[in-house]
């Protein structure tokens, strides 16, 4: 009998300890509500993550345009790093088009620079640059649309000043 009690004692103690560790209803975890990244309050911050990477990429493009071809591989490598960071960003449904244009722009610019380093003809380079710029413009228009910014053209300059071109539109919130 003593032997049976000695064998069962650790089991009973283990069960008692296990039961005492159970959570009571006041200790249950409280679910937290996460903010909707597409709400009007949070959308600017959601877009800012994408825009920060686009601006960093734009800086790399500007630098690449002022370097000799021998130095471009290092810049292209940095551009690929930025593009991978952009690919890794989680995109809520409201910014999927924004992310698509961003990645198309980045991919187009990287591919064009790689073609340039590889000795591609000028027509191919110009075409690649035009397509990349078009994606950048679509990205910018998507930002404007998401943020609800209205583009208003400036009033035309009176002809008496001798100018005939219409000024570029300005952004007004």
Mean pLDDT within 5-16:
57
Does residue 11 sit within a domain? no
**pLDDT tens-digit readout, 138-159:** 999 999 999 988 877 776 555 5
The count of domains in the chain is 1
Residue 112, in any domain of the structure: yes
Per residue in 65-124, pLDDT tens? 999 999 999 999 999 999 999 999 999 999 999 999 999 999 999 999 999 999 999 999
Distinct helix (H) and strand (E) counts, the chain: 5, 2
User: Does 140 fall in a domain?
Assistant: yes
Q: In the predicted model, what is the mean pLDDT of the chain? A: 82
Give the distance from CA 129 to its chain's centroid. Answer: 21
Q: Is residue 108 part of a domain?
A: yes
Q: How far is CA 112 from CA 11, 87, 124, 131, 165, in A?
A: 71, 19, 8, 10, 32
Answer whether residue 141 is part of any domain: yes
How much is the pLDDT for 69? 92
Helix (H) or strand (E) holding 117: helix 96-117
User: Distance between CA atoms of 144 and 169, rounded to whole angstroms?
Assistant: 13
Task: Specify the pLDDT at position 173.
Answer: 45
Say what the pLDDT of residue 20 is.
55
Three-state DSSP state, 38: coil
Is 106 domain-assigned?
Answer: yes
132 occurs within a structural domain: yes
pLDDT of 22:
55
Q: Which domain holds residue 76?
A: 43-149
Whether 154 is covered by a domain: the verdict is no
Cα–Cα distance list, 99 to 43, 72, 130, 142, 171 (Å) = 14, 25, 19, 10, 22
pTM given for the model:
0.69
Of 105, 106, 113, nearest in space to 68 by CA: 113
Check residue 42 and give left, alpha or beta (phi > 0: left; psi -120 to 50: alpha). Answer: alpha
């Amino acid at each position: 009998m003593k032997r049976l009690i000695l064998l069962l004692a650790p089991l009973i103690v283990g069960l008692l300890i296990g039961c005492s560790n159970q959570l009571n209803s006041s200790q249950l975890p409280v679910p937290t509500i996460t903010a909707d990244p597409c709400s009007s309050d949070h959308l600017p911050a959601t877009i800012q993550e994408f825009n920060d990477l686009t601006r960093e990429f734009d800086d790399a493009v500007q630098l690449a345009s002022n370097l000799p071809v021998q130095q471009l591989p290092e810049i292209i490598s940095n551009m690929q790093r930025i593009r991978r960071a952009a690919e890794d960003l989680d995109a809520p449904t409201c910014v999927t088009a924004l992310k698509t244009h961003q990645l198309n722009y980045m991919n187009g610019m990287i591919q064009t620079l790689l073609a340039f380093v590889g000795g591609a003809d000028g027509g191919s380079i110009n075409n690649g640059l035009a397509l990349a710029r078009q994606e950048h413009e679509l990205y910018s228009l998507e930002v404007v649309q998401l943020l609800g910014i209205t583009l208003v053209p400036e009033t035309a300059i009176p002809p008496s000043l001798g100018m005939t071109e219409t000024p570029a539109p300005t952004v007004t919130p």
